[in-house]
């Protein structure tokens, strides 16, 4: 049996490529989600800012909403899927945020106030790994 001299083959080239500095034209990496994702405090702050007193602005609807919700709105032209309503509420309140790490999602009950003391609720969902943070889904109460 003839012994062949030990050869590194392509291994040094692979290591060299990994150790070499990235070319100047390389894109910077997108920010990664922290290991636990968004916290309940961050989600609560986002939802409070997003919904404000009367609902999200046109820019917030464009920039801070998942494609899923944009698609839902395209189908349901007669209603506002982000507010589960057809009109602008008098006021909006955000309840306590629940975070389910294993499901990768956080949510809160959103309460809308209408004329005559009427209220309605729905649930707003945020993915824990979304960067930037955005509204992922809304489930209307009834």
pLDDT in tens, 60-116: 999 999 999 999 999 999 999 999 999 999 999 999 999 999 999 999 999 999 999
- Note whether residue 24 is domain-resident: no
- Note whether residue 108 is domain-resident: yes
- 33, exposed or middle or buried, with CB in 10 Å at 0-12, 13-18, 19+? middle
**CATH assignment of the domain containing 50:** 3.10.450
Cα–Cα distance, 124 to 108 (Å, whole number): 6
Cα–Cα distance, 44 to 73 (Å, whole number): 23
**Tens digits of per-residue pLDDT, 119-131?**
999 999 999 999 9
Domains: count for the chain:
1
pTM (two decimals): 0.74
Give the range of the structural domain holding residue 85, as residue numbers without chain letter: 37-140
- Note whether residue 90 is domain-resident: yes
- Note whether residue 7 is domain-resident: no
Of 127, 126, 97, whose CA–CA distance to 109 is shortest?
97
- Residue 132: asked if its preceding bond is cis (omega within 30°), the reply is yes
- Note whether residue 25 is domain-resident: no
């Amino acid at each position: 049996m003839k012994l062949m001299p030990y050869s590194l083959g392509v291994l040094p080239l692979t290591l060299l490529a990994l150790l070499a500095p990235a070319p100047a034209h390389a894109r910077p990496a997108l920010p990664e989600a922290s290991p636990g994702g968004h916290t309940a405090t961050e989600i609560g702050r986002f939802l409070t800012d997003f919904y404000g007193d009367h609902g999200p602005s046109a820019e917030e609807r464009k920039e801070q909403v998942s494609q899923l919700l944009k698609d839902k709105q395209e189908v349901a032209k007669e209603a506002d899927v982000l507010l589960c309503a057809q009109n602008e509420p008098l006021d909006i309140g955000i309840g306590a945020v629940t975070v389910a790490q294993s499901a990768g999602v956080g949510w809160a009950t959103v309460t809308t106030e209408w004329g005559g003391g009427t209220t309605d609720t729905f649930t707003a969902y945020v993915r824990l790994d979304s960067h930037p943070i955005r509204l992922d889904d809304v489930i209307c109460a009834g």
